[in-house]
């Protein structure tokens, strides 16, 4: 049981890191797509680099959404098995600042 909890915590940390990196890549890809679209509109070129940037943004959005769903599922499984701390907004467990000294 202890080993399963350690594995769940390691899996949760790993998916947290991957989800965070995918989110950052999504933000940068979106900013690049907007900048390329604006540059193409201002310069009126026929390069069409913005199409690839928007396609990458869409792919990153889908992958981030799937990773985020998996992250939430792992978190709820870890909390449900007693392997982690409760969510701070959980009605079963008041927040630390809500407890008496």
State the Cα–Cα distance between residues 94 and 96, nearest whole angstrom. Answer: 7
pLDDT-based confidence at residue 93 (cuts at 50, 70, 90): low
Mean pLDDT computed over 82-97: 53
pLDDT number for residue 2: 47
Query: pLDDT of 5-40, one tens digit each?
Result: 555 566 678 888 999 999 999 999 999 999 999 999
Closest CA to 20 of 71, 86, 59, 76: 71
Tokens of 55: 């396609």
Contact present, 78 and 6 (Cβ < 8 Å)? no
Contact present, 74 and 12 (Cβ < 8 Å)? yes
């Amino acid at each position: 049981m202890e080993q399963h909890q350690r594995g769940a915590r390691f899996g949760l940390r790993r998916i947290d890191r991957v989800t965070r990196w995918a989110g950052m890549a999504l933000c940068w890809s979106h900013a690049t797509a907007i900048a390329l679209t604006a540059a193409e509109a201002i310069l009126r070129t026929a390069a069409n680099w913005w199409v690839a940037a928007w396609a990458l943004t869409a792919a990153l959005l889908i992958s981030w959404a799937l990773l985020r769903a998996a992250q939430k599922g792992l978190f709820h499984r870890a909390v449900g098995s007693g392997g982690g701390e409760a969510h701070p907004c959980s009605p079963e467990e008041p927040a630390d600042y809500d407890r008496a000294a």
